Amino acid sequence: MELAQLKEAVIAGDMARTKSLTEEALEAGIEPASILNDALISGMDKVGELFKVNEIYVPEVLLAAKSMQNAMGVLKPRLVDSGIQPRGKIVVGTVRGDLHDIGKNLVAMMLEGAGFEIIDLGNDVPAEKFVEAAVENDAGVIGMSALLTTTMHVMKETVEMLGEKGLSDKVKTMIGGAPVTASFASEIGAAGYGDDAATAVDLAKEFLEG
């Protein structure tokens, strides 16, 4: 049993094989943290790289992320037993008035694949709910998605609300979605803009790990 095989199974999006290899790795006595970091997260890192340069597209990324989720079903109890903490907590959602969630789900799965704990608020999420969820869960990042040009203002409201509550340093905002641009992000004072799901992962690492 080699972790390289497991990593390859994640990259290939082979759900059944990812799960069975994870079970084998645990039986072989490999540390859960090592399985997570050296195979699963490392595999998802590679998936993110391939996605960024258009070597693979949304279906392949979703299959890889689902494979990782499968493996996590097996691995999670063991990680908890050994006291492994997630890399940090991130609140995600599609903003108020917007019911499009394909992009948001992709980002959530990629962030989860990178080892973050995700609090997914779904779609149609108002500014106050993003802020409340971040405070309640002690999350360091809020990720917001919009597909419609009519809903992007909710991102601004969320950023402003964090500012009013003095939370701007503690909770970073990152935004994305088809009509969203880097210049819009800087205009509203969001901490980051992700052109794709892989960039969202890079931003989260930067915000939560420096």
Partner 1 sequence: MSMDLLELVNSRPILGDGAMGSILQERGFKSGDCPEAWNLDRPEAILEIHQAYRDAGCDYVETNTFGASTIKLARYGLDAKVDEIVAAGVDLARRAAGDTCLVGASIGPTGALLEPYGDHTRDQLAEAFGRAATVLEREGVDFYLIETMSDLNEAALAIAAVKEVSKKPVAATMSFTKGAKGHRTMMGTSPQEAGIELIKAGADLVGTNCCSGPEAAAEIITEMAQSTPLAVIAQPNAGLPELKDGRASYPESPEAMAEGAGNLLACGARVIGGCCGTTPAHMASMGSVIKGR
Site residues (vs partner 1, CB under 8 A) = 15, 53-54, 56-60, 62-63, 66, 96-102, 123-124, 148-153, 156, 179, 184, 187
Closer residue to partner 1 (CB): 41 or 146: 146
CB of 165 to partner 1, least distance (A): 22
Closer residue to partner 1 (CB): 137 or 149: 149
CB of 159 to partner 1, least distance (A): 14
> Helix or strand or coil: residue 12?
helix
Q: Which residues pair with 171 in a beta bridge?
A: none
Q: What is the 8-class DSSP label of residue 175?
A: E
CB of 58 to partner 1, least distance (A): 5
Close Cβ partners of 14 (under 8 Å, ≥ 6 residues apart): 67
Closer residue to partner 1 (CB): 22 or 70: 70
Q: Which secondary structure element, helix H or strand E, spans residue 90, and what is its range?
A: strand 89-94
Residue linked to tokens 């006291």: 83
8 Å CB contact between 171 and 142: yes
CB of 85 to partner 1, least distance (A): 29
